[in-house]
Amino acid sequence: MAMNYKEEDGHHNSGVGPGLAAKSKKPDNTAFKQQRLPAWQPILTAGTVLPAFFVIGIIFIPIGIGIFVTSNNIREFESNVFMYYGLSNFYQNHRRYVKSRDDSQLNGDKNSLTNPSKECDPYRTSNNMPIAPCGAIANSMFNDTLRLVRITNGSEEAITLTKKGIAWWTDKNVKFKNPAGNTTDLKQIFKDTTKPINWQIPVYELDSKDQDNNGFVNEDFIVWMRTAALPTFRKLYGLIEKTDSSQVALKPGNYTLQIVYNYPVLSFDGRKRMILSTISWMGGKNPFLGIAYITVGSVCFFLGVVLLIIHTKYGNRNNSPDIPN
């Protein structure tokens, strides 16, 4: 009579023929798999915890104050001025959105140019032609035109914006390249592709004034392709440089911002804005980092004081020996 039985490992030995040893499902007899590795558990005492809290507080608070003051001292509309465009409620950090690109295509690979990655779907092809650049990130590129003019005695003086040098060096020179070809004519190189669905012009016509700033190496395009971590963000649009070292980049006066509206934001309840700012050793004006340092340092210092009071008041009582009545 056949009968089921259990092995030492607690599993049923079913399906094993006569004379064959049952295969054990026990983990190997090693220190790691049997959880016999030596362990170290720190013992937290007042002598180790209190100094740590005070040291963190003493270090973080001055650093935070320094960063906060530096950020607040950044002067608006002075020196070389950086123009940014900002978007709100735009989630560039969505997982599918971030993956919707073809880095090989952006790096100038010819095969990816005419056969984009499937990660770009549904912005991979249009009218049976491959899209260059493909993907949702490129398709949603910000394309409003911002023009700043100074009004003097009723006449307009256009402020010159430098559009090169606004992207990261590694992006411009390593990650983004135009496809190589027998000609320098980008229109001929991209002839077997089509523009993204939401674009008004093809990628090789992004900069009508500078042919070296076209295609995948266009710096406005490169800046947009570096996705933001938060739904409210700003991206560099251009640089207003000083023409005279003795003068500020933006002279006192009345200015008008002229906008060619191409980029709709009502569909995602977003908002657009333009920011003018100088920079410091820590970048543009952003008080968050300084506030974070001050907050963490203050909390640690406060907890250190509270724990010190508790330890002083009750610590000796807990360590004193019991005295019999």
Please tell me the predicted confidence (pLDDT) of residue 29.
87
pLDDT digits (tens, 9 = 90+) for 244-302: 766 778 888 899 999 999 999 999 999 999 998 876 655 556 677 888 889 999 999 99
Please tell me the predicted confidence (pLDDT) of residue 77.
45
Half-sphere exposure (CA, 13 Å, Cβ side) for 193? Answer: 29
Please tell me the predicted confidence (pLDDT) of residue 193.
95
Judge if 159 and 269 occupy the same domain. yes
Residue 241 lies in a domain: no
Residue 270 lies in a domain: yes
pLDDT digits (tens, 9 = 90+) for 83-121: 999 999 999 999 999 999 999 999 999 999 999 999 999
Judge if 301 and 269 occupy the same domain. no
Judge if 68 and 164 occupy the same domain. no
Helix (DSSP H) and strand (DSSP E) numbers for the chain: 9, 8
In the predicted model, is pLDDT for residue 231 greater than 90?
yes
Residue 265: burial class (beta carbons within 10 Å; 0-12, 13-18, 19+): middle
- More confident of the two residues 20 and 104: 104
Residue 264 lies in a domain: yes
Please tell me the predicted confidence (pLDDT) of residue 242.
81
Judge if 62 and 106 occupy the same domain. no
Residue 287 lies in a domain: yes
Residue 41 lies in a domain: no
Query: What are the strands, taking DSSP E only, across 62-201?
Result: 81-88, 125-126, 129-130, 145-152, 155-158
* SS3 state of residue 131: strand
Q: Which of 178, 179, 211, 215 is nearest to 195 (CA)?
A: 215
Judge if 260 and 113 occupy the same domain. yes
Judge if 269 and 287 occupy the same domain. no
Residue 69 lies in a domain: yes
Measured CA to CA, the distance from residue 25 to residue 39 in angstroms comes to: 26
Judge if 216 and 127 occupy the same domain. yes
Please tell me the predicted confidence (pLDDT) of residue 311.
85
Judge if 256 and 295 occupy the same domain. no
Judge if 156 and 178 occupy the same domain. yes
pLDDT digits (tens, 9 = 90+) for 195-225: 999 999 999 999 988 889 999 999 999 999 9
Judge if 310 and 177 occupy the same domain. no
- More confident of the two residues 181 and 170: 170
Cβ(186)–Cβ(214) under 8 Å?
yes
Please tell me the predicted confidence (pLDDT) of residue 10.
46
Judge if 199 and 291 occupy the same domain. no
Share of the chain above pLDDT 70, in %: 85
Characterise 36 by phi-psi region: left (phi > 0), alpha (psi -120 to 50), beta (else): alpha
In the predicted model, is pLDDT for residue 20 greater than 60?
no
Residue 80 lies in a domain: no
Domain range for 296 is 47-74+282-315
Please tell me the predicted confidence (pLDDT) of residue 119.
95
Judge if 178 and 70 occupy the same domain. no
Please tell me the predicted confidence (pLDDT) of residue 78.
75
Residue 115 lies in a domain: yes
Please tell me the predicted confidence (pLDDT) of residue 79.
67
Cβ(270)–Cβ(118) under 8 Å?
no
**Most distant pair of Cα atoms in the chain: their distance:** 111
Please tell me the predicted confidence (pLDDT) of residue 281.
55
Q: Which of 259, 258, 260, 239 is nearest to 250 (CA)?
A: 239
In total, how many domains does the chain have? 2
pLDDT digits (tens, 9 = 90+) for 146-170: 999 999 888 898 999 999 999 999 9
Q: Which of 261, 263, 258, 274 is nearest to 199 (CA)?
A: 263
